[in-house]
Amino acid sequence: MKIKIPPSTNQIDFKRSELPIYIKDLSEIVGIENPTIYVEIGFGNGEFLVEMAKREKSSLFIGFEISGIGIEKLRSRVRKENLKNVLCIREDGFWGLHFCFPDSSIDKIFINFPDPWPKRKHEERRITTRKKLILLHEKLKPEGKIEILTDSKNFVDYTIEQAKEIFKVKTEERKDFSITTKYMRKWLLQGRKIYSVLLEKSKNLLTPESKKYYNFEIEKLPKIKMFLERKIEKFAYKKEDLEHKVFKIEEGIFVKFFDILEGKNKILIETLISEHGYEQLFIIKVERKGEKFAVDISPFSSVIRTEGIEKLIEKLSQGQL
């Protein structure tokens, strides 16, 4: 089975800027044909992923985590145990799955104690919105499963509601665990109940009609492209035109500029772009080069060069914001 993993980096890390990751045969990594593929989203300090990987050396474990400290903790555990079957990706789990995995490629996804985002206004941030569950469904093999552990009954109820037309759903209160996690121990010490939610793809409830009904806009997600710096005669903006301002690039794509630093021959612009919910923070560099100016992403920024960023750089260069 092919999956996109960068050949240039070591087995448990790569830079975000290297996305889209390149195709590599996963069986080469663990040294067996068609390994079982497990994914954990939000692995925290990595103890669950590492314990699983120790127990099943012929399977491949891939973790997504947004915290750099979490990544470092996982790396040191993997090194200590000398494991060869763990990969980690510093990326939002939802977007990471979209970018890195072909459809029908994952055996099981684990999500241990995801942030429940209890406020209604933060619903979009929950990992079990219907839209996200449909993507996860697409990435699972036909018999694939998702297992979620949480201490939040509200999160369980929300997830059941979102999942019931997509997956076969089983939920129960759990007392025994063969592997514990930091958050599990924390909640157990406080006497809280722990629930598991098992989502099974086997009963394929997702029809093409229901996909349309849910208005799942996978085609609108950012596509990755290479692009070059823009050379321009004159940079149209003054600091106050951009600093701390929000602009709409097009439907679903917004940019916010934060602080702007002006040097003798260079302007650095702190930038946040949101493309259909996918957010990236980076620095835009406008540099005098002889008689012209060059506009580009600073090499100190690690970004996935998306169409949205390309459009932003184009509009900024042309004075069209």
Ligand X SMILES: C[S@@+](CC[C@H](N)C(=O)[O-])C[C@H]1O[C@@H](n2cnc3c(N)ncnc32)[C@H](O)[C@@H]1O
Q: Which is nearer to ligand X, 4 or 168 (CB)?
A: 4
Q: Binding residues for ligand X, how many (CB under 6 A)? A: 19
Q: Which is nearer to ligand X, 176 or 240 (CB)?
A: 176
Assess 152 for contact with ligand X (CB under 6 A): no
115 belongs to the catalytic site = yes
**3-state secondary structure (DSSP) of residue 89:** strand
Number of helices followed by number of strands (H, E) in the chain: 10, 15
Residue of 6, 70, 144, 308 interacting with ligand X (CB under 6 A): 70
> What is the C-alpha to C-alpha distance for residues 84 and 54, in angstroms, rounded to an integer?
10
Single out the segment in contact with ligand X by CB under 6 A; choices: 65-73, 152-160, 244-252, 268-276: 65-73
Name the phi and psi angles at 199, rounded to 5.
-115, 120
Q: Which is nearer to ligand X, 43 or 257 (CB)?
A: 43
> Greatest CA separation found in the chain?
70
Q: Which is nearer to ligand X, 132 or 137 (CB)?
A: 132
Assess 65 for contact with ligand X (CB under 6 A): yes
Which residue is associated with the tokens 């722990």? 194
Q: Which is nearer to ligand X, 110 or 257 (CB)?
A: 110
Binding mask 181-220 for ligand X (x = CB under 6 A): xxxx------------------------------------
Closest Cα partner for 60 from 79, 88, 92, 82?
A: 88
- Report CA-CA distances (Å) from 59 to 5, 38, 73, 139, 234: 16, 8, 21, 17, 55
> What is the C-alpha to C-alpha distance for residues 93 and 146, in angstroms, rounded to an integer?
13
Closest Cα partner for 283 from 272, 263, 269?
A: 269
CB of 20 to ligand X, least distance (A): 18
Catalytic, out of 115, 157, 241, 259: 115
Residue of 18, 115, 173, 259 interacting with ligand X (CB under 6 A): 115
Which residue is associated with the tokens 């990987």? 53
Binding mask 74-113 for ligand X (x = CB under 6 A): ------------------xx------------------xx
Report whether 48 contacts 27 (CB < 8 A). no
As annotated, the active-site residues are 115
Task: By CB under 6 A, name the binding residues for ligand X.
Answer: 41-44, 64-67, 70, 92-93, 112-115, 181-184
